[in-house]
Chains A and B, each alone.
Chain A
Amino acid sequence: MCKPKEHIFISFIWLKFAEKIVDPNPLISLLTHLMANSLRLYLTCIRNTLEAALCLQNFPCQEVERHNKPEVELKTSPELLLNPVMICRNEAEKCLIETSINSLRISLKVKQADELENILTKKFLRFLSMRAEAFQVLRRKPVQGYDISFLITNYHCEEMQKQKLIDFIVQFMEDIDKEISELKLSMNTRGRLVATEFLKQFI
């Protein structure tokens, strides 16, 4: 699971070496390319882990009769839980996948470069969590230490295709990053336009 880190480390070393002999402009494009690659690796790692972990079956509660609860949330029976897996792209971005016999919980920490991205991410993910029923697999409250969490049960796997579920989660991760960046850009553009209009009043 640490492969993405190794890749990033090796690429970083090569980058440092290349700095001395190569022009800086192509270096920036190379860096962008490497970052895109690291994102691909990160998402591929998550996808492969989900494919292995999404083998859920119906399992009634062992403690209460006629109850059927997601065991990953209760964590009362250790024999029904699998080892949690944490996949880190860097210190700011990570993914925690906790599996049990009848349910799976995925928690995501989204990158936040500055204060503005921080509040935008918080607002947007809180907005989505409040409307969790529309997503069906989204948890209303994220796990502590993470920005957003999904809870997939065996019932979801019966209603929906496993591959499509995994595609949805990976696509969701990409879309969130894209949306936060777009929001930040549009806010800055808007601020610039408003500032120009304000200063024009003096002229």
Chain B
Amino acid sequence: MMACFERASPALREILLKIHRAERPVEIDYHVHEFGSVHYHVQCSASDPHCAYLSLSTPLLSRGLTFSSHLPEHILETVNGVFPRIIETIEPSQEGYQLTLKLDFSRIPHSKASTKIITEISSVRAVILSSHLKEILTKVDSNGMYKPIKLVYRPSEPFFLIKQQAKITAVFPMRFKENEDVVIATSFFQELADVGNSEKCRKAPRCIWSPIPPPELRGESIEDLCTNCGFVTFDITSRHVEGKNLDKTVWNLLNFYTFVKYYVKSTRGFIQRRMRLRLEKLIRPLHDDVDVDQEDRRPEKKAKGCKRVKKWINASKSKIVRKRRKLMNKIKRIRFRIKIHSFVGRFRRRWLKLPKFSRVTRYIKLE
């Protein structure tokens, strides 16, 4: 799954684990940028190896106004409450950052639990965003009921929360730049609505997709209600905000836009892969036909056969005479070197008599 769906930042976790497991004191000064808008700064000096400073800058949820640069008090309290013995908030925070934390690695045990603790610390951004959203929801009083609260996490991606008596409705207006993305996303939302209303996912929030704005958003500005891919609505009930489910629900709602964009992107890749595979199958019949035609025109390959038999079959009379002459010359040369009287004639007659060659094609009838 994509890194942004994990609560803990993988890069930050890696750096903190490196500091914790280092055998010798290390000097570290890392800047980590994630998703274009999140910035971490990790510092650790060799003179004080057990302490590290973590500064964080992240866009916060705003109510459609300018982004806030200071963290509210309740968020700082929540962050301090994660691991109070290990994490300490430093005020004022480092310049350019919203939050600076001092981490005491001497309090983290060197056991399997250390990875879990460091993973929790790496999810500080998720804690900030979740607590911010929780605070917005809890602060709504009876006057604020049924009024849509516009929240902006990333520019041009606002979503609405409407607090009602028995549930909280989250409405996501969906917009895409390309027409293809609109069609792919629309089919996904229809499937999401089908699955959300099925028996298998009855414990999950009820999900509705509609091409027109829901009645809860009546009165909102036209810019927010102009979309090309409709509106996705989730009904969050008390079951989804109890205990640990609250964090999961909040995190899923915050990452819904990112999730849909990732799905659209991966679906386009999937279509491309399928088309490439199909292309080979479509071409094959044509190339097979061409190969068959070319094979018909090629001359048939003859069997190679035995070389010696070929030589005998192809040997003409003149060739045979030429070969005989060569052999005779060889023998004469040998003869001039060695001279044995009275033996020569008999030897020659017996051993140096050349067989008569005749054509293999002529058959001799056996009697």
A interface vs B, CB < 8 Å?
A: 115-116, 118-120, 123-124, 127-128, 131, 134-137, 159-161, 164-165, 167-168, 171-172, 175, 179, 183, 186-188, 190-192, 194-196, 198-203
Contact = CB atoms under 8 A, between A and B. Distances in A.
A199 B289 contact: no
A191 B263 CA distance: 8
A203 B204 contact: yes
B200 A194 contact: no
Interface string B247-288: 011001000000100010001001110110011011101100
Contacts of A179: 278
B27 interface: no
A187 B278 contact: no
A186 B275 CA distance: 13
13 contacts: A116-B184, A123-B180, A123-B271, A123-B275, A127-B279, A128-B282, A168-B289, A175-B281, A187-B270, A188-B187, A195-B192, A199-B204, A201-B248
Interface in B26-61: none
A168 B287 CA distance: 10
Given A188-B191, A191-B188, A183 B271 contact: yes
A201 to B, nearest CB: 5
A159 B287 CA distance: 11
A191 B293 contact: no
Contact of A116 (B183, B245, B292): B183
A190 to B, nearest CB: 7
Interface in B185-215: 186-188, 191-192, 194-196, 200-201, 203-205, 207
For the complex of A and B, 4 pairs with smallest distance between CB atoms: A199-B204, A191-B191, A164-B289, A195-B192
Contacts of A202: 203-205, 240, 245, 248-249, 252
Interface in B161-184: 179-180, 183-184
B267 A198 contact: no
Contacts of B245: 202
B290 interface: yes
A170 B285 CA distance: 12
A127 B275 CA distance: 8
Given A124-B275, A202-B204, A202-B240, A187 B184 contact: yes
Chain B, interface size: which category?
Answer: 35 or more
Given A119-B183, A194-B263, A202-B248, A134 B279 contact: yes
Given A119-B183, A192-B195, A136 B286 contact: yes
Nearest to B1: A197
Contacts of A192: 191, 194-195
Nearest to B288: A164
Most chain-B CB neighbours within 10 Å: which of A159, A161, A199? A199
A198 B186 CA distance: 16
Contact of A199 (B207, B281, B283): B207
A115 B190 CA distance: 13
A172 B192 contact: no
Contacts of A194: 188, 263
Given A196-B195, A202-B205, A135 B283 contact: yes
A195 B290 contact: no
A127 B252 CA distance: 36
A93 B51 CA distance: 72
Nearest to B276: A127
B187 A116 contact: yes
Contacts of B272: 127
A189 to B, nearest CB: 9
A128 B290 contact: no
B255 to A, nearest CB: 10
Contacts of B259: 198
A119 B289 contact: no
A168 B285 contact: yes
Contacts of B204: 199-200, 202-203
A115 B274 contact: no
Nearest to A118: B183
Interface centre among B200, B263, B286 (most CB of A within 10 A): B286
A186 B277 CA distance: 14
Interface string B114-134: 000000000000000000000
Contact of A160 (B267, B271, B279, B290): B290
Given A123-B180, A187-B267, A160 B293 contact: yes
B180 A199 contact: no
Contacts of A136: 286
Contact of A183 (B274, B286, B292): B274
Contacts of B240: 202
A187 B186 CA distance: 12
A124 B282 CA distance: 12
B31 to A, nearest CB: 31
Contacts of A137: 286
